[in-house]
Chain A
Amino acid sequence: MISFFRMIKFAAQHFFRNFGLSVVSIIILLLALISVNMFFGFNYVADRAIQTVQDKIDLSLYFYQGIEESEIAHVQEYLNALSTVKSTELVSAEQVLANFQEKHKDNPDMMRSLTEVGGNPFGAMLILKVNSIEDYNSVIASLNSDVFNKLIEKRSYENHETAIRQLESFSRNVKIGLLAFTLLFIFISMLIVYNTVKVMIYNHREEIQIMKLVGASNKFIRWPFMIEGMFSVLIAVALTIFIVYPFLLKFIQMYFSGLNVDVLSYFQTNFYLIFGGQLLGALLLNTFSSSIAVGRYLNR
């Protein structure tokens, strides 16, 4: 127990008496953590941006004129039962007519044509949204049967098919790209932190040799360096939270104010996962790096 407290005391002494080096170490960790958080933030924004565009795309099914409402309700029921379908909205034939009249009220030609046709030329309409853009194909395929073809006159999807396919491909590429960038960035951050620790320990290589000559065990030499690293990580993570919240996230939020994104609430909801994960990751990385770097001089 005495040794344990001494190791903590030595670590604290070392931390404060090499304050310049400690500050450098904290700054490097801080920059790495801020960058990782920026990536998390932008990742979320990109995800939300794709989601927003997806939400704006829907599939409209135009029924033949005169189809019974009960039959349409049947189709709606069938669609609602599909796990890929997010929502459905039934627009009656009367409402479709009213919408048409409202939309073209300033267009006399359109209004005249409507009068000439007489009555309500429109059938009812079903607007549906799917959970993911990739699901449109399966929904369309499931409606492609004789039973449904007798009821459905037109599918709006046919008009947007190319756009949906492009968006689907873009969305997939963005997700893969962001994941690759995030992993690459985390890897680079890890290398930077590892090398910083290595340089720090290199500066203390003579001290390590002296401690060995005086009779210190490897554990007694290694742990204060590892604990000192933990101090740096704790301070760096605390500073990251302090900087990321009031400044960076608000900046991202402001920059993407046009989109339906709430970066702050995303970070708040996932606070323990995001910052706890970073704390744990940085602690493991720092401890591992210190242990390896000190070990190099202990074995000489």
Chain B
Amino acid sequence: MIKLRQVSKFYDPDVVALNRLSLHITPGEFVSIVGQSGTGKTTLIKLLTAEEKADEGQIIIGGWDISDIHKSDIPILRRQIGIIFQDFKLLPNKTVEENVSFALQVCGVGSKQINSLVDSMLKVVGLEGKHHRYPWQLSGGEKQRVSIARAMIHRPKILFADEPTGNLDVLNTKEIIDLLQKINQFGTTVVLVSHDREIVNSLKKRVITMEAGQVVNDQKVGRYIL
């Protein structure tokens, strides 16, 4: 599903974000990527979502080599994956419904189908009746649910979550992690980048530990070790 072979990324000749990193994630896995700040976790997510390009190595997602992806193909890639962020990245002038449906509108899906999909997705993430609220009218937890609904509306096979609970309180954090587990149970591969030791330990899933742009530890049922 996701393969990285000897991938390197340099920001300056002497700033190495990723150093010959190799990784293999199989379909349906729930993988936590942990490590201290500046170890290359976010850079890894940026390469996987084609926000940036690798300087060396090969990145394959679902059989598609995106190492040298053309600009015009990036939207096509992003329509096949889901991404959620610590700062939610919701469109401020769009309602909950519009934020979620946007991901389908860009794919050219018909309005009727969008309405029914959005309704059911908002039910899944527990945002029934909040269709017409704007992001500023929502709590942090609700915003992250909208973000998850938007990321999952087109039923991607992979969900990348970059510190999704970084801005949330304990209760909301637990709810969001439960939601991610539920998504994983339905067969979606989840790649979670997190700093939260308790969350990672409670998951009892695969943990990849990064240091200086390299994988230093990779355990099937791992713990947060730093």
The finding on whether chains A and B are genuine partners in a shared complex, rather than unrelated, reads: yes
Inside 8 A of B107's CB, which chain A residues have their CB?
215
- Interface set, chain A 1-54, CB cutoff 8 A to B: 2-3, 6, 13-14, 17-18
Nearest B residue to A2, CB-CB: B108
Contact of B118 with A by CB under 8 A: no
Q: How far is the CB of A3 from chain B (nearest CB, A)?
A: 6
Contact of A210 among B72, B91, B111 (CB under 8 A): B91
CB <8 Å contact, B110 and A2: yes
Residue in B75, B98, B102 whose Cβ sees the most chain A Cβ within 10 Å: B75
Task: Check A214 against B78 for contact (C-beta < 8 Å).
Answer: yes
Q: Does B103 contact A (CB under 8 A)?
A: yes
Give min CB distance, B53 to chain A, whole Å: 13
The CA of A13 and the CA of B105, in the complex, are separated in Å by 15
Q: How far is the CB of A11 from chain B (nearest CB, A)?
A: 12
Give the number of residues in A that approach B within 8 Å (Cβ atoms): 20
**Contact-residue size bin, chain B (C-beta under 8 Å from the other chain):** 20 to 34
Cβ 8 A contact of A213, one of B49, B94, B108, B111:
B49
Residues of A within 8 Å of B108, CB to CB, are 2-3
Residue contact B51 to A211, C-beta cutoff 8 Å: no
Question: Interface 1/0s, chain A 209-247, versus B by CB < 8 A?
Answer: 111111111101000000000000000000000000000
Secondary structure dominating the interface of A: helix
Q: Are B105 and A17 closer than 8 Å at their CB atoms?
A: no
A13 CA / B75 CA spacing, docked (Å): 23
How far apart are the CA atoms of A3 and B109 in the complex, in Å?
Answer: 9
A71 at the interface (CB under 8 A from B): no
| Nearest opposing residue in chain B for A1, CB measure | B108
Does residue B157 face the partner (Cβ distance < 8 Å to A)? no
Contact A214 B106, beta carbon cutoff 8 Å: yes
Contacts of A209 in B (CB 8 A): 89
> A215 contacts which of B78, B94, B110 (Cβ < 8 Å)?
B78
- A6 → chain B, closest Cβ, in Å? 6
| Chain B contacts for A215, CB-based, 8 A | 75-79, 103, 106-107
Pick from B72, B74, B91: contact of A211, CB under 8 Å: B91
A55 within 8 Å of B (CB atoms)? no
* Bound Cα distance A18, B78 (Å): 28
* From A6, A18, A213, A217, contact of B89 by CB (8 A): A213
Kindly state whether residue A77 has any CB partner on chain B within 8 Å. no
B83 CB-CB contact with A under 8 Å = yes
Residue of A nearest to B88 (CB): A210
Identify the A interface with B (CB < 8 A).
Answer: 2-3, 6, 13-14, 17-18, 206-207, 209-218, 220
21 contacts between A and B (CB under 8 A): A2-B108, A2-B111, A3-B108, A13-B93, A13-B98, A18-B93, A207-B91, A207-B92, A209-B89, A211-B106, A213-B49, A213-B51, A213-B89, A214-B103, A214-B106, A215-B78, A216-B75, A216-B102, A217-B72, A217-B75, A217-B106
